[in-house]
Amino acid sequence: MFSFTVIKKDIHTNARLGRLVTARGVVETPAFMPVGTQGSVKALSPRDLEEIGCQIMLANTYHLYLRPGVEVIRDLGGLHRFIGWKRAILTDSGGFQVFSLGGLRKITEEGVRFQSHLDGSSHLLTPEKVVEIQQELGSDVAMVLDECIPHPATKEYAKASTDRTMRWAERSLKAHRRSDQALFAIVQGGMYRELRSACVERLALLPFDGYAVGGLGVGEEPSTLHAIGEFTAGFLPERRPRYLMGVGRPEDLIFAVGSGYDLFDCVLPTRNARNGTLFTSRGKLNIKRAEFLKDPRPVDDACGCYCCRNFSRAYLRHLYHAGEMLAAQLHTLHNLYYYHGLMESCRRAIREEGFQNWASRLRSHGAEVEGGEDSQS
C-alpha cells in the first residue's frame, strides 16, 4: 500500500525527485506539507488546499487526542472523513509538544505525562499509546513518539534523550499493526554529529517506512541547521523517504532539498500570512506598510494564485488593518501557493538536471533584493 521510489537524482547535488504512494494518493517529492494542527489549516478550506496543488497535509496527534478526542474522530469515520480531506495526511506524534510545552509535561522512560493546556487534566502518552491513537485516526503516515531536544543542550542531556527516543522507536514499531499506514522513525541527537550518526545507524536497522530528522530549527544559527541537516541526511537510508521536520524558511528548504530531503512542514507560511508577511519571487513583503495604501499592483506579478489574480496590495492592506478575516484567508492562500510553487520548481530543476544552477540563481537574486533599495521585507 505504501511505497517510495527515487525517480531521479541531481547530478551535482544530493537533490532527488521522488514518488511517494499512499492509500489516498500519490505525493510527488520534494513536497511541503501545510500544518493543520487541529485538523484544519488555519484560514483555508480543504478545497483551497486542493486548488493550490496540496497532496499531503499534517495534523497533530496530541491536540486531536485532547480535542475532540480520538473516539469522536474514529466513530465518525476517521480523520479524513472528519475533516473532509481526501488526500494524504501525516500525523505528528506530539514530540514537538514535549519541546513547546516544557512547563506542562514530565518525561520518563515510560513516556510523557502532560498536563492539558485546555483543562489541566493529566494524560500519559507512551510510545504505544501514541501509535494506537494514530492508528485509530487512520492517517496515512504516523510518527513515533520522540523528544525534540531544546537548543542549547549539553551533550550528556542530548545523549540520554536520544537514547530514550531510540528505545521509544523500537517500542513504537512493535505496537504498530495497521498495514495501510506507514510508520516513520525520528532521528534526534541535538547539534552533536556523533549522536546524530549513531541514532541513524541504530534506527536504520529497523524496518521503518521512512525516516524523519527532528530537533532542528529550534533556535540554532542557519549555518548550524544546514550543516547538521546535511550531515544527517548523508546517513539516512537511500530507499526511504526523508522528512526534515519543522524547517520552513524558503532558503532553508532549498538547501535541504539539495541535501537530499523529500518532505517538509512548518507553520511559517501560515503564521506569517496572519501577521501580514507575504512571500514573493522578489523576497518578503510586509503588507501592513503605509506605502501600499494606494498600490494597485498584486502582491507578486509572477504569481498565479487567486489572491494575486484578483486583488491589489491596497485592498489587502485595507483588509488587514480593518481586521477582516478575508485578509488571513487571502494571505494564507498566497503563501501556501508560493511554497507549493517553490517545491514544483525544485522538482522541475531536478528533472531537467539543473537544480544546482537554479538554486544558485535563486539565492543570489533573493540576497540582492532583500539587501537592496527595492527591499520589501
Catalytic residues: 92, 265
**What's the CA gap between 304 and 311, in Å, rounded?**
12
Which whole-number Å values give the CA distances from 141 to 1, 45, 204, in the listed order? 12, 21, 18
Contact criterion met (CB below 8 Å) for 286 and 377: yes
Q: What angle do CA 306, 308, 310 make, to 5 degrees?
A: 70
**What's the CA gap between 269 and 260, in Å, rounded?**
22
Using CA atoms in the order 195, 198, 200, 206, what is the torsion angle rounded to 10 degrees? -140
Give the three cell numbers for residue 355.
537544480
100: exposed, middle or buried (Cβ count in 10 Å: 0-12, 13-18, 19+): middle
**What's the CA gap between 36 and 54, in Å, rounded?**
12
Using CA atoms in the order 118, 122, 125, 131, what is the torsion angle rounded to 10 degrees? -60
**What's the CA gap between 128 and 19, in Å, rounded?**
29
Helix, strand, or coil here: 295?
Answer: coil
Contact criterion met (CB below 8 Å) for 181 and 90: no
Contact criterion met (CB below 8 Å) for 112 and 125: yes
How large is the angle between the packed helices 155-175 and 127-137, nearest 10 degrees?
Answer: 50
> DSSP letter at 246?
T
**What's the CA gap between 254 and 279, in Å, rounded?**
15
Contact criterion met (CB below 8 Å) for 252 and 218: no
Of 225, 184, 176, whose CA–CA distance to 204 is shortest? 184
